[in-house]
Structure 1
Amino acid sequence: MRSPKKTFWLPVLALLPMLIVTSLVRAEGMSIAYTVVKMPLAEDISMDDAVDSMLLRANVLNFKMVARLPLYKELESMGVETKRIEIFQFCDARIAAQMISENIDFSAYLPCRITLIEDEEGKPWLVTLDLDKVIQMADLDPELKTLAIKVRDTMMEIMTAGANGEL
């Protein structure tokens, strides 16, 4: 008679290669869309209104806009026909410094970005990195995790204000 321990582990061990292959396929087949958050602008909100709303909300939340890159203008100056693509970079320098002092790898995610972009049909979107994914991957102590969540929430509030034209 087999012991109950052996009876349990034999099927698990037999399935192990399949579980490993399945997890590898998922990782390799992961879409880049999985790593971002996208918000469409409300129907009655212009792209300029969205920008004004984002900048005002960031200011209210004490989240500094550190750069504004009108990529579409650069492309147009090179003779490339393009729809509007504009990248906004926001930062809370104190939080950024704490994250970098914990692990310099966080510097690759700084500053936080929101892209205002038109899709092929002319529909305007706001797009940013899904900070939930980064927070889940990072090994953060409770204080840094709280700060990372604050940054995520602030970015989402800025995007929501822009998408809805909230002042």
Structure 2
Amino acid sequence: MTLIRNLLAVIGALTLILVIAIALWLMPRLADFDPEFLPTYSSFASDLLETGDPGTAMMWSVPVEEDLSTDEVIDSLKSLATTNNLLFVGESPFYQQVEAVTGEDYRYVNFLSFCDAQVGKMMLEYRNHYSGFMPCRIALVEDREGKLWLFSMNLDFMIYGGRELPPELKQEAISVRDTIRAMMQGAAVGEF
């Protein structure tokens, strides 16, 4: 019994030393990270563990009301973008590309792109890698059961996912994020 108790004490002590060493190694590396870094990745990890799907955990999704057509949702998105000073900068009707390549009908999938050129410029001046987040895209997708959904990348990873952004850039990025979320919510119910 004494041997087991001593063995458990040694294991506990080694575990404590390991935890302290990891904490001392991580603390200086995380010192400049955004204060919302841990909640952002905790939410991602929770969603990932729940669904087992990183795509689901990285995306926002909003169901579209049943009585709305694809054209009504697109018109709503464009109108809401204009109201919120975002430019509609492109559309990629993916379903048409699939049909052209396969020769078979495909369910509706369309990628709509929106941009705030001034915020985009700020992002690029900060770091060229941020071009991968631009322009903001909202996908209008008909699922296998025929229901329409809106999807967009969770921009919190760009805003909070690492070192804290400069204050003005962070404020503008949050504004664009909030606008994209509001556009998705509004278009899902047909707001103009």
Counterpart residue number, 1:149: 174
Q: 2 CA distance for matches of 1:45 and 1:154? A: 21
Shift of 1:116: 0.3
Question: What amino acid does structure 2 have at the position aligned with 1:147?
Answer: E
Q: 1 CA distance for matches of 2:124 and 2:177? A: 16
Report if aligned partners of 2:66, 2:147 keep a CA contact under 8 Å in 1.
no
TM-score by length of 2: 0.72
Unaligned runs of at least 5 residues, structure 2 = 1-11, 22-44
Q: Larger deviation: 55-64 or 41-50?
A: 41-50
- 1:8-47 to 2 correspondence within 5 Å? 11-13=15-17, 31-47=54-70
Counterpart residue number, 1:165: 190
Report percent identity of matched pairs.
34
> For the aligned residues, what is the CA RMSD?
2.6
Assess, with a 3 A threshold, how the Cα gap between structure 1 residues 91 and 120 changes in structure 2: closer, same or farther.
Answer: same
Report if aligned partners of 1:50, 1:161 keep a CA contact under 8 Å in 2.
no
- 1:68 matches 2:95: no
Report if aligned partners of 1:75, 1:82 keep a CA contact under 8 Å in 2.
yes
Deviations 1:40-75 (A, max 9, x none): 001222222111111111111110011111111122
Structure 2 residue matching 1:44: 3-state secondary structure: coil
Structure 2 residue matching 1:45: 3-state secondary structure: coil
Question: What amino acid does structure 2 have at the position aligned with 1:157?
Answer: A
Whichever of the two has the greater Rg, that structure is 2
Equivalent of 1:102, from 114, 120, 126?
A: 126
Shift of 1:31: 1.9
Unaligned runs of at least 5 residues, structure 1 = 1-7, 18-25
Q: Larger deviation: 67-76 or 27-36?
A: 27-36
Q: 2 CA distance for matches of 1:142 and 1:97? A: 15
Counterpart residue number, 2:113: 89
Deviations 1:85-106 (A, max 9, x none): 1000000001000111011110
Question: What amino acid does structure 1 have at the position aligned with 2:59?
Answer: V
Equivalent of 2:138, from 110, 114, 118?
A: 114
Counterpart residue number, 2:73: 50
Q: 2 CA distance for matches of 1:145 and 1:138? A: 12
Report if aligned partners of 2:81, 2:88 keep a CA contact under 8 Å in 1.
yes
State the aligned residue count.
153
TM-score by length of 1: 0.82
